[in-house]
A and B are shown apart, each in its own frame.
Chain A
Amino acid sequence: MGIPFMPVRGIIGTDYLQIRPDFKVINNPYGEDKIVVVPANVPEVALIHAKKADRQGNILVDRFENDPLLARASKKVFASCEEVVENVYRELTPEDIVIPSIYIRGVIVAPGGAAPTRCPGYYELDDATLQAYVKASREESTFSNYVQDFLQG
């Protein structure tokens, strides 16, 4: 959004203010209460996995996620996608939303790129793999085995 901070309700009374000196409490200039302001979060790079992309660089993503917000907040956005189509706008369903190419720096084709989480319309959450991930992540050695197996699988 290009603005330096945003007011947020709540927070005062929690321990956030102990660990986030960048969260400031101010007097609400338009009211009687106190309110927290938080600094803008501006990621250098965002990586977004899309359902579809076209050669103009428009991408089609799931409407139920936060990808458009991420694209708008970040300095650079790179996308991976399940497949390339002629024009993503012609593929729009009520489940989707387009992030226009103006936000997108580059796109690669990477079918299965969201696994073991899901890419709606393509594949669902892989519960067994996620459970294995959680189990493997407890130790360094089992985790590196998991990564090797996953990359080879």
Chain B
Amino acid sequence: MTLQYTVEELMAAVISREIQDGEVVAVGTISPVPAAGAILAKLHHAPGAELAVWMVREYWPFSEGVKEFFDLAQKGAVDLFFLGGAQIDQFGNTNLHVLGDYDRPKVRLPGGAGSGTLYYTVPRVILFKTDHTNRSFVEKVDFVTGAGQSPPEVRRQGHAEKCITPLCVFRYNPGTGRLELDSVHPGVELQQVVENTGFDLGEIEQVPQTRAPEAEELEILRTAVKEKLRTTYPHFVQTAFHSA
């Protein structure tokens, strides 16, 4: 029997597998898919992971607001963080500021929150985006909110590792400084990824398929994880989980 699952469940499972037991993993604002992935990892294979999931009280250990979290990250004590953007480009830059020209934007976005600093202070960064079109995955972002690379004279702990989308997984190649195709999700054609990506993916002959979520992962997502996200992400909880 083929398992039925939503694209959010698949993305959460992919994110979950990136999390290792014992890591300090933080999830920021408006990040329901990484929140689901992080909690799944904790309940599935990484019970020793320390989670800080913004706005999910059970997994937010701080008393002094986000300041305490930023201080912890600046100290180098957060291992893994998730960054999104309205646009993500081939260099792993993210944009949360504007679409179009900064002074005359087509769309004004909320701004960067922590991306401008957390991208540098956290060793492992996973990019994510819940849509995948050639307007959202672009050659060059309209505004660099989070920088995929930075000049050598500024202290930086790490870089992007993966970028998880509804169609595929990209991996970041620190040698070339570019995103490359890592795997394509089950049911998605390679051509679909190429057509919906605004930057050149190079010559691709064969690409592995993303491992589908397993029954146990889906079970945890649809019960415990869904329940824990209910008050923080009521809309997501209603739409993102497959119901039999």
Residues of A within 8 A of B (CB): 8-16, 18-19, 31, 33-35, 63-69, 95, 97, 118, 120, 124-125, 127, 131
Residues of B within 8 A of A (CB): 55, 57, 60, 63-67, 74, 97, 102, 112, 116-121, 143-147, 149-151, 153-156, 231-232, 234-235
Cβ-neighbour of B65 out of A10, A34, A66 (below 8 A): A66
Task: Count how many pairs of residues, one from A and one from B, have CB atoms less than 8 Å apart in the complex.
Answer: 80
Cα(A35)–Cα(B60), bound, Å = 29
How many Å from the CB of A130 to the closest CB on chain B? 8
Cα(A117)–Cα(B232), bound, Å = 11
Q: Which residues of chain B have C-beta atoms less than 8 A from A9's C-beta?
A: 74, 117, 120-121, 155
Q: Is A34 within 8 A of B153, CB to CB?
A: yes
Beyond A95-B57, A125-B234, is A10–B143 a contact (Cβ under 8 Å)?
A: no
How many Å from the CB of B224 to the closest CB on chain A? 19
Cα(A16)–Cα(B116), bound, Å = 8
Q: Is A64 within 8 A of B154, CB to CB?
A: no
How many Å from the CB of A36 to the closest CB on chain B? 8
Q: Which residues of chain A have C-beta atoms less than 8 A from B55's C-beta?
A: 64
Q: Which residues of chain A have C-beta atoms less than 8 A from B235's C-beta?
A: 127, 131
Residue of B nearest to A12 (CB): B154
Q: What are 22 of the A-B contact pairs (CB < 8 Å)?
A: A9-B120, A9-B155, A10-B116, A10-B120, A10-B156, A12-B151, A12-B153, A12-B154, A13-B144, A13-B147, A14-B147, A16-B145, A33-B155, A63-B63, A64-B65, A65-B65, A66-B65, A68-B65, A95-B57, A124-B231, A125-B232, A125-B234
